[in-house]
Amino acid sequence: MAHNLFYNELSEKHSFFSVKEKAWHGLGQIVEDYPTSAEAIRYAGLDYTVEKRPLFTNSLNNELTGFDPDFATSKSEVPNCFATVRNDNDAVLGVVGKDYEVVQNADAFQFFDAIVGGGEGGYTTDVDPSSPI
C-alpha cells in the first residue's frame, strides 16, 4: 500500500513524524514529547515558505506562423493565474487565481499551540468534566 509521503531529496527524509511510536509505514521521525507547532513543522519537513509567482506559458512557432529561429518560443504571462512555489526547492505546488492568499505552514498551525495544553497533548477547557453535556 502506498504511503504517499513526500520524500525530500535535500534532507533525505520523508515529511512525516509521529510521537512515541512508529506509524504503520515505519517512515519519518519519532519524537518523545508532543512538540509545539514550530517543532512539529520542522520534524515533518514542512519548514519552508511558499510564494505566489506569475504563471507563464511558452508559445511555439507552428506551420501557420512559419518558423523563425529567433522567435522559436515566446513567453506569455497567463492572466490572473499564479503558481504556488516552495522557496526551498522551487517545486510548484499548484495553480491559483489572483485573489488567492498564501498562508504559511508556521501561521496555519500556530492555533494548535493554544489547543494543546502544557505539552501533554490534551485539550484545555473550563468545562466541568462531571457535568452532562
pTM: 0.62
- Alpha helix positions (H), the chain: 37-43, 105-108, 111-115
Whether the Cβ atoms of residue 86 and residue 63 lie closer than 8 Å to each other: no
Alpha carbon 49 to chain centroid, angstroms: 8
State pLDDT tens for residues 47-68: 899 999 999 987 665 555 555 5
pLDDT score, position 118? 52
Query: How confident is the model over 9-41, as pLDDT tens digits?
Result: 777 777 777 787 777 777 777 777 877 888 888
Pairing label, strands 92-97, 7-8 = unpaired
CA nearest to 34, candidates 108, 99, 118, 102 = 118
Residue 129 falls inside a structural domain = no
Do the domain assignments include residue 94?
A: yes
- Clarify whether residues 54 and 98 are in a common domain: yes
Which position has the higher pLDDT, 26 or 106?
Answer: 106
Query: Are 59 and 76 a contacting pair, CB within 8 Å?
Result: yes
| Residue whose C-alpha cell is 512539529 | 40
Whether 88 maps to a domain, the answer reads yes
The mean pLDDT value of the chain amounts to 77
For the segment 115-119, the average pLDDT, to the nearest whole number, is: 62
Question: How many domains does the structure of the chain reveal?
Answer: 2
In a shared domain, residues 54 and 43: no
pLDDT(74) > 50: yes
| 44 DSSP 8-state letter | T
Give pLDDT, residue 9. Answer: 75
Q: Which domain holds residue 78?
A: 50-103
